[in-house]
Amino acid sequence: MSHAPSRRKFLQTTASAAALTQVPYFGWTSPVIGQDAKVESKADRRLLGCIGVGDRWNAVGPQAMNFADCVAVCDVDSVMTDKAKSKALEAGSKAGRPRDVEVFEDYRKLLDRKDIDVVTIVTPDHWHSKIAIDAMKAGKDVYCEKPLTLTIDEGKQILKVLKETGRVFQVGTQQRSEMSAEKGTFKQQFLTAVALCRDGRLGKIQKVECRIGAAPTSPSIPKAPVPSTMNWDMWLGQAPMVDYISLPSKGKYPHSRTHYEFRWWYEYSGGKMTDWGAHHVDIATWAIGMDHSGPTSVEGLMVEHPVPFKDGWPTVDNMYNAATKFDVKCLYPNGVELRILSDGENGILITGDQGELFVSRGALRGTAVDTLKDKPLGEDVISKLYKGKTPGNHMANFFDCINDRTQPISDVDTHHRAMSTCHLANIAIRLDRKLTWNPETEQIVGDDAANGWLKREQRKGYEVTA
């Protein structure tokens, strides 16, 4: 989307933002990013294993290596592990803590290493849940990129294992922590927006619009040889076995099912609904106090898919199939209407009976924001929202919580609830009908066929099980 900084650019800038000094923002002081996390000596530092080391890992991995020493990298594409190993070795050398870095293709062998304390999971979406569950069972604390799940049932399984194992788990919805580094203008504007809403500055909130942008389309993509560097069977994992396809494009990667492009296939992800929706719906439900609940109804008002669908399934198998445009209405138990839209300026518009605000990665404006000049937020409001910790770098928050064994700011439960809304939105637009949802039982009411979509059939040998 040309009108907003990319997710990758946003995360890449956080490293430079960490060097900023304290900057007063609307009446409360934002700390030096990362100041909470303790940097231990070599003998005390935790050991890190990185599972999935493609493009996104180039932001997540170096951040994690600020607090732990990477001793293993894993990916089903050896091109990625070669680059990641070099980067990890370089980071250790520069920090004066050189360590050997072992390379794996199978993540289970990495988890077998008893010395590894913490893992990052930066794989395609359809692998997140299985690896996260196996990692927790192996005694590892987990930082996993969003969206955490492919289905609602997967979220329930992760919560079950989290409770059983007591691990610390941070989801990579960085908007809960990070500042925008766009010219250093805004500091943690999403947290401020949520605080304004929870402090009653908008009055009774009536409506929220999550504007997450349209998804791309592709031409027909021909069958191609599987790259010699890739384990295609393992890349597919729980998804159906299909031919490898590839077609050159104007982007960084060719049109395909892999690398960045997996986002536009329902087999591996949920399109923009779970890509950007994982961020904005999370912030929106946090702002309206529904982050531990869910909607009562979800209805697709408009949708455009790039290929024909029958009974919720695409009928063409060589083109991107996730929705390109959509307008979904969700109603919550507190009476708030939440819309998930592909149109409009990327960001979140929140409207109450006493004002409104708009927040994005480059903006925070509106009548509620204007009140901060004369009535700044109290530090207790921010502290309470951030679970008593000082807001700062998302990765630093994770390692702080590892130290005191508390759950980080982007915990599994609230993320599962936000993703349930996104998954329900996709079910509604794929089946072309309104869904009634019970957030307590986590079931679709009076629609057995739709309830069948709360989980998916999984390929033998790659099942996600708690």
Give me the pLDDT at residue 13, please.
34
Asked if residue 147 has a cis previous peptide bond (ω within 30° of 0), the answer is yes
Q: Do both 322 and 422 map to the same domain?
A: yes
300 plus 440 within the same structural domain: yes
The tens digit of pLDDT for each residue in 142-195 reads 999 999 999 999 999 999 999 999 999 999 999 999 755 555 455 789 999 999
Q: Among 450, 429, 457, 466, which residue's Cα sits nearest to residue 126?
A: 457
For the stretch 316-328, pLDDT in tens is: 999 999 999 999 9
* Percent above pLDDT 70 for the chain: 89
State which residues form the domain around 132.
Answer: 7-177
Q: Is residue 200 part of a domain?
A: no
Question: How far is the C-alpha of 165 from the C-alpha of 50, rounded, in Å?
Answer: 20
270 located within any domain: yes
| pLDDT for residue 25 | 34
Is position 459 within any domain? no
Answer yes or no: is 95 within a domain. Answer: yes
CATH number at residue 244: 3.30.360
CA distance 188 to 350: 17
Lowest mean pLDDT across 206-220, 332-346, 374-388: 374-388
| Over residues 19-25, mean pLDDT | 28
Residue 128 located in a structural domain: yes
326 within a domain of the structure (yes/no): yes
CATH number of the structural domain spanning residue 81: 3.40.50.720
153 and 252 fall within a common domain? no
Residue pLDDT, tens place only, 34-62: 334 444 555 579 999 999 999 999 999 99
Domain identity same for 419 and 286: yes
What is the per-residue pLDDT for 9? 38
- How much is the mean pLDDT over the chain? 90
> How would residue 224 be classed by pLDDT, with cut points 50, 70 and 90?
very high
pLDDT at 44: 76
Q: Is residue 124 part of a domain?
A: yes
The pTM of this model reads 0.91
351, 341 Cβ separation under 8 angstroms: no
Whether residue 370 lies inside any domain: the answer is no
Q: Identify whether residues 219 and 342 lie together within a single domain.
A: yes
CA angle 152, 241, 415 (to 5 degrees): 20
Helices of type H across 31-124 = 57-64, 78-94, 107-111
Look up tokens 């935790």; give the residue. Answer: 46
Residue range 353-360: mean pLDDT, rounded: 96
Task: Clarify whether residues 148 and 59 are in a common domain.
Answer: yes
What total of structural domains would you count in the chain? 2
> What integer is the mean pLDDT of 282-291?
98
**Which region among 107-111, 359-363, 397-401, 433-437 has the lowest average model confidence (pLDDT)?**
359-363
Q: How far is CA 374 from CA 27, 205, 368, 370, in A?
A: 9, 22, 11, 8
